[in-house]
Chains A and B, each alone.
Chain A
């Protein structure tokens, strides 16, 4: 155990901590009046009080949004640190409070142990061109399940998947969609359940290998991060993973495709996984700017400083999370934009859930929250 902790501290550069406290100052949880302190976790771990960190319930509130990392002068990898510490803590049978009774975690575990006969392609209609094998694969993620779980807050759900495939079709790509695709395992990985995560990795990598795809396109920022950064640690494969915004930006660059008119200003929410984790800031913005008439207004905190949607991996959704969302909404309203575009379905779920709350400020209800793929597909004219 001791040597494991030592190697953890070395891998995540926690030994280099200067104790400056910029992380806690930047942490959105701490700023909303929570008791959360990344600095304290690192300090306790370094000085040998690891067991205190494992037992700390606050630890499960961490959004792993990476805002502390951006501000850290000695480049401590706090998100990696958190992901690994949670494995230890989960080993001691501790865990966070799962939001929505933990249904997303349960579904992921069920897929890990038996996901062969899913009927997840109900949304594919005749107008969409899909294939069973090919170069480009569209990774749907958990969207078909979110349709059922979150129908009461009217999320786009498989609408995002439909729009993404249609968008790819318009760009001349017939994407592969898999019937036996399973959850990417993001929520399990970040809540410390490595066993089931590895099962999911194995299933997905094998399924993708069978289709012969070289490029994976995903419309979910969490899937993207998991496939791109975490999968290579557990499996060997030779495909590259791209977010749909990167893919579209590449294809549209220098092409003569036309976009239809949109009147008004929009603002863009950087998902933490896409932005700070993978540094994809410009592609979605470039594509959105190509829509004629669009005025893209940035929120007060944007790009590497942007505030996250308040809940990640469906753990510990509490008043602090709600406060973060409220802050985000007030920033969005300040821009005067009527439409908020985000590139991650989870952002959409959390923001729409918050939007339906009674305590929301005036004007929040009328803010139109939509996905990047939906927005672009609506305005891209078929050649």
Chain B
């Protein structure tokens, strides 16, 4: 199954999956082509800033407080005896969900299952281009949107809510559908955001290492930062990345 898809993609010449931070996806116009599939409607109009705050499943929470180490919006409620989310300050970046060993934290309207589903069905759409919905939570997004002039790309992309949400599992799933490369596009501008980028990158590397051990065709894994300043480089970055992934046959050495 995965092999068939891979072959089809080889003929058309583009077989790269892009994991895009949500706000960066707004840069990718022409969603009509090969964009990830998931039945979802826009929860809000394109001009609205929607935040999908984190939700903690009380029954699953292991009280390990791994999330609290990473994010000031989460705290331990002594009275209720579970982790609570400050919905006012929560940006909905999802980094808490990515560290939760129990899988107790998810984003409202945006579960990690949806991301996996989107990756699994990336090439099933046949270019119908339904998108996985996510929030418009990134503070730099209004800036980026103002400069949105990029040519279309023909590579499937999945948006995750924030690069902090990227998991090694995403790399495995991408390899499963026969992709040759996985590019993470972030749009950070400040230091805390950069931490998330580094974290996402580290987790992608862990995924790549797992693939190497597994002996599956290794895919090229890269991460770039494109914010309001250098957003115009996106087509070039994608082009180069596609070339690198296909010419080297993935990142295998």
Per-residue CB contact flags for chain A residues 85-120 toward chain B (1 = under 8 Å, else 0) read 000000000000111111100110011001111111
Count of chain B residues with Cβ under 8 Å from any Cβ of A? 30
* A99 and B64 form a contact (CB under 8 A): no
Given contacts A110-B176, A317-B102, contact A145 B169 (CB under 8 A): no
**A317 nearest CB neighbor, chain B only:** B102
Given contacts A101-B112, A118-B215, A148-B168, contact A317 B62 (CB under 8 A): yes
* B216 and A358 form a contact (CB under 8 A): no
A195 contacts the other chain (Cβ, under 8 Å)? no
A20 contacts the other chain (Cβ, under 8 Å)? no
* B206 contacts across to A, CB distance below 8 A: 148-149, 151
**A120 nearest CB neighbor, chain B only:** B213
Stretch at the interface among A67-75, A258-266, A318-326: A318-326
B240 contacts the other chain (Cβ, under 8 Å)? no
* B172 contacts across to A, CB distance below 8 A: 103, 106-107, 110
Stretch at the interface among B28-36, B65-73, B128-136, B147-155: B65-73
* B173 contacts across to A, CB distance below 8 A: 106
Given contacts A97-B60, A149-B168, A318-B59, contact A359 B65 (CB under 8 A): yes
Per-residue CB contact flags for chain B residues 58-98 toward chain A (1 = under 8 Å, else 0) read 01111111101100000000000010000000000000000
Task: Give Cα A151–Cα B168 distance, bound, in whole angstroms.
Answer: 13
* B63 contacts across to A, CB distance below 8 A: 319, 322, 357, 359
A283 contacts the other chain (Cβ, under 8 Å)? no
A144 contacts the other chain (Cβ, under 8 Å)? yes
A219 contacts the other chain (Cβ, under 8 Å)? no
Per-residue CB contact flags for chain A residues 338-369 toward chain B (1 = under 8 Å, else 0) read 00000000000000011011110000000000
A316 contacts the other chain (Cβ, under 8 Å)? yes
Query: How many pairs, one residue from A and one from B, have CB atoms within 8 Å of each other in the complex?
Result: 97
* A114 contacts across to B, CB distance below 8 A: 215-216
Contact residue among A103, A115, A321 (Cβ-Cβ distance under 8 Å from B169): A103
Given contacts A148-B206, A149-B206, contact A107 B103 (CB under 8 A): no
* A97 and B102 form a contact (CB under 8 A): yes
B236 contacts the other chain (Cβ, under 8 Å)? no
* B64 contacts across to A, CB distance below 8 A: 322, 353-354, 357-359
A122 contacts the other chain (Cβ, under 8 Å)? yes
* B103 and A119 form a contact (CB under 8 A): no
* A119 and B62 form a contact (CB under 8 A): no
* B101 contacts across to A, CB distance below 8 A: 99-100, 317, 353
Given contacts A102-B169, A107-B172, contact A119 B59 (CB under 8 A): no
Given contacts A102-B169, A358-B68, contact A111 B214 (CB under 8 A): yes
Task: Give Cα A97–Cα B64 distance, bound, in whole angstroms.
Answer: 17
Contact residue among B66, B168, B169, B212 (Cβ-Cβ distance under 8 Å from A357): B66
B167 contacts the other chain (Cβ, under 8 Å)? yes
Contact residue among A110, A317, A319, A354 (Cβ-Cβ distance under 8 Å from B214): A110
What is the distance, in angstroms, from B15's C-beta to the closest C-beta of chain A? 18
What is the distance, in angstroms, from A134's C-beta to the closest C-beta of chain B? 23
* A358 contacts across to B, CB distance below 8 A: 64-65, 68-69
Task: Give Cα A100–Cα B103 distance, bound, in whole angstroms.
Answer: 6
What is the distance, in angstroms, from B7's C-beta to the closest C-beta of chain A? 16
Task: Give Cα A111–Cα B176 distance, bound, in whole angstroms.
Answer: 11
* A118 contacts across to B, CB distance below 8 A: 213-215
* B66 contacts across to A, CB distance below 8 A: 356-357
* A322 contacts across to B, CB distance below 8 A: 62-64
Would you list which residues of chain A between 291 and 326 have a CB under 8 Å from chain B? Answer: 316-319, 321-322
What is the distance, in angstroms, from A277's C-beta to the closest C-beta of chain B? 25
* A97 contacts across to B, CB distance below 8 A: 60, 102-104
Per-residue CB contact flags for chain B residues 134-160 toward chain A (1 = under 8 Å, else 0) read 000000000000000000000000000
* A115 and B215 form a contact (CB under 8 A): yes
B238 contacts the other chain (Cβ, under 8 Å)? no
Per-residue CB contact flags for chain B residues 199-230 toward chain A (1 = under 8 Å, else 0) read 00000001001101111100000000000000
Would you list which residues of chain B between 5 and 24 have a CB under 8 Å from chain A? Answer: none
Would you list which residues of chain B between 177 and 205 have a CB under 8 Å from chain A? Answer: none
* B215 and A117 form a contact (CB under 8 A): yes
Would you list which residues of chain A between 128 and 149 have a CB under 8 Å from chain B? Answer: 144-145, 148-149
Given contacts A102-B103, A357-B63, A358-B64, 5 further A-B contacts (CB under 8 A): A118-B215, A144-B213, A317-B101, A317-B102, A358-B65
21 A-B pairs with CB atoms under 8 Å apart are A98-B103, A100-B101, A101-B103, A101-B112, A101-B169, A103-B168, A110-B176, A110-B214, A120-B213, A145-B213, A145-B214, A148-B168, A148-B210, A148-B213, A149-B206, A317-B101, A319-B63, A353-B64, A354-B64, A357-B63, A358-B69
Instruction: Rank and list the top 10 A-B pairs by shortest CB-CB distance, nearest first.
Output: A117-B215, A118-B215, A358-B65, A322-B62, A357-B64, A317-B102, A148-B209, A318-B60, A319-B63, A101-B169
